[in-house]
Amino acid sequence: MRMLAFCIVLVSQLTLPSAGQQLASPGQSATAPCTFDDGKQVAVQYNSLASKSEERLRRGKPWEAGGASMILFTQTRLTLGNSEIPEGAYSLYVIPEKETWTLVVNKNVTAGSKYDEKQDLARASMEIGQIDSPAKQPQILFGHTGAKQCNMRLYYETTGAWVEFKEK
């Protein structure tokens, strides 16, 4: 049992650096990339600032990690849930609820603009779970889980959330 746990930890530690994760220092911009087997990439750029008290997660309200929208860049068509996402750049928002979180892909990438639900391109439920070590700042990582699959993971406070992007 200890050997299995050691192997899981070792594989996860070897996988993340090789995937090109750029972990951010507090207050900095960070990029989390994932490369599909064909060499095309999807990445999320985000602000790693810890949210101010007035920017805290509020159930049912769109949340911007670090007070600024996350930006999704994709070099290939993706599917998220049942929706297709063309190549390009998009804003990402998270809507936290008690039992599940929703990832929203929005067409408006204008810096400083307010969230507009009419610009939504895709929404998908995120699986959530509790993490042992609270994340004081937002952290996004990708796991390359298959030839055409990248799993986006978001950690903040005591919650870990994840969702699957698939290459079309």
List, for residues 100-136, the tens digit of each pLDDT value: 999 999 999 998 888 999 999 999 999 999 999 888 8
Q: Give a yes or no: residue 110 inside a domain.
A: yes
Q: Is residue 12 part of a domain?
A: no
* Residue 34: inside a domain: yes
State the pTM of this model: 0.80
In a domain, 105, yes or no: yes
Mean pLDDT of 58-83: 91
Query: Tokens at residue 10, please?
Result: 């070792």
Question: At residue 55, does pLDDT exceed 60?
Answer: no
Gap between the Cα atoms of 120 and 104, Å rounded = 7
Query: What is the model's pLDDT at position 13?
Result: 35
Residue 146 has pLDDT above 70, yes or no: yes
Bridge partners, 155 (sequence order)? 139, 160
Domain encompassing residue 89: 20-167
Asked if residue 14 is part of any domain, the answer here is no
Domain count, the chain: 1
